[in-house]
Amino acid sequence: MKSKLYDKIATIYFYAVAVVLILFLISLIGYILYQGRTQLNINFLTSPPKFMEAGGGIGPQLFNSLELLVVTLIISVPIGIGAGIYMAEYARPGLLTEVIRLSTETLSSMPSIVVGLFGLLVFVNMTGWGYSLIAGALALTVLNLPVMTRVSEDSIRSVPNSLREASYALGSTKWQTIVKVVIPTAMPGIITGIILTAGRIFGEAAALLYTAGMSSPALIFSNLNPSSPTSPLNIFRPAETLAVYIWKINSEGLAPDTRQIADGAAAVLLLMVLIFNILARWLGSILYKRMTGEK
């Protein structure tokens, strides 16, 4: 009787915690969207900000955030998955493996401001690129690689060994087994790692202050010359992101409608994260079904 009572109490407790967390999350999202509702229009999303004037938008910052997301994922996802495959399938227990794991865990706890200063020294000054989108992407790669690597490794390790043995029994090589069996099975966990990485890219500001910069040129989207400073394809131009812009306008407070702009930008940033998470889950499920042959 006591065990059943304890089980019922624990069940009620965990359900109550889940409800509280869900209500808190819904209230937080609702508050941010409600505060920024008046700014959610096409003009605000497409027009550039105005200096010390009311009515500015977030067009360049919004585009920079999306472009930075794409560039950073292109760099960090293949490296993170490759590192996860090595740690889960090839690395042998020993001093080298422990050093790599310790270094990864230490890097994952590194403050973003320290990574930003490292990016300023290496990706901005030593390379001669200056404040640029590629410098910000590389700094965010340093931040996100430990998360991507650890999530990929755990997802690959969670694949049952029986699947590997069945693949070997059919004559597959180790690499064929990894590509055709292990990775498709681990895909849901890998997608989770990509979503966590993307969320940090969208929300990061400290590291980008010292690498991507706090300004953005007026972009001409018809200009497809990658070497032009006004081209959206130029990854060596300064690229102020939405999170950095929110911090800057709140700290400076020069525009008369600073609060409205900040609320609207925060609402847009939140919607971007939600939309990306939904699309990533949807695309991940489609990719998983195609790789596993499920209908």
pLDDT by residue (tens digit) across 27-66?
Answer: 988 998 888 888 888 888 888 888 777 777 888 888 999 9
Predicted confidence band at 1 (pLDDT cuts at 50, 70, 90)? Answer: low
Domains and CATH numbers, the chain: 36-292 (1.10.3720.10)
Residue 102 in this model has a pLDDT that exceeds 80 = yes
DSSP 38-102: GG-SHHHHHSPP-TTSSS---HHHHHHHHHHHHHHHHHHHHHHHHHHHIIIIIPPSSHHHHHHHH
Q: 14: which 2 tokens? A: 């965990």
Asked if 64 and 218 count as a contact pair (C-beta separation under 8 A), the reply is no
**Segment 248-267 mean pLDDT:** 82
pLDDT by residue (tens digit) across 120-168?
Answer: 999 999 998 999 999 999 999 998 888 899 889 889 998 888 888 888 8
Q: How many CB atoms lie within 10 A of CB 253?
A: 11
Residue 231 in this model has a pLDDT that exceeds 90 = no
Q: How far is CA 4 from CA 12, 13, 15, 113, in A?
A: 12, 14, 16, 50
Q: How far is CA 123 from CA 80, 205, 207, 227, 238, in A?
A: 20, 16, 12, 18, 13
What phi and psi values does residue 254 have, to the nearest 5 degrees?
-85, -30
Predicted confidence band at 205 (pLDDT cuts at 50, 70, 90)? Answer: confident
Pairwise CA distance, residues 118 & 153, whole Å: 26
Q: What is the pTM of this model?
A: 0.85
Residues whose CB falls within 8 Å of the CB of residue 294, separated by 6 or more in sequence, listed in order: 288
Predicted confidence band at 260 (pLDDT cuts at 50, 70, 90)? Answer: confident
Look at residue 187 in the predicted model and tell me its pLDDT. 86
The pLDDT mean for the chain works out to: 86
Predicted confidence band at 199 (pLDDT cuts at 50, 70, 90)? Answer: confident
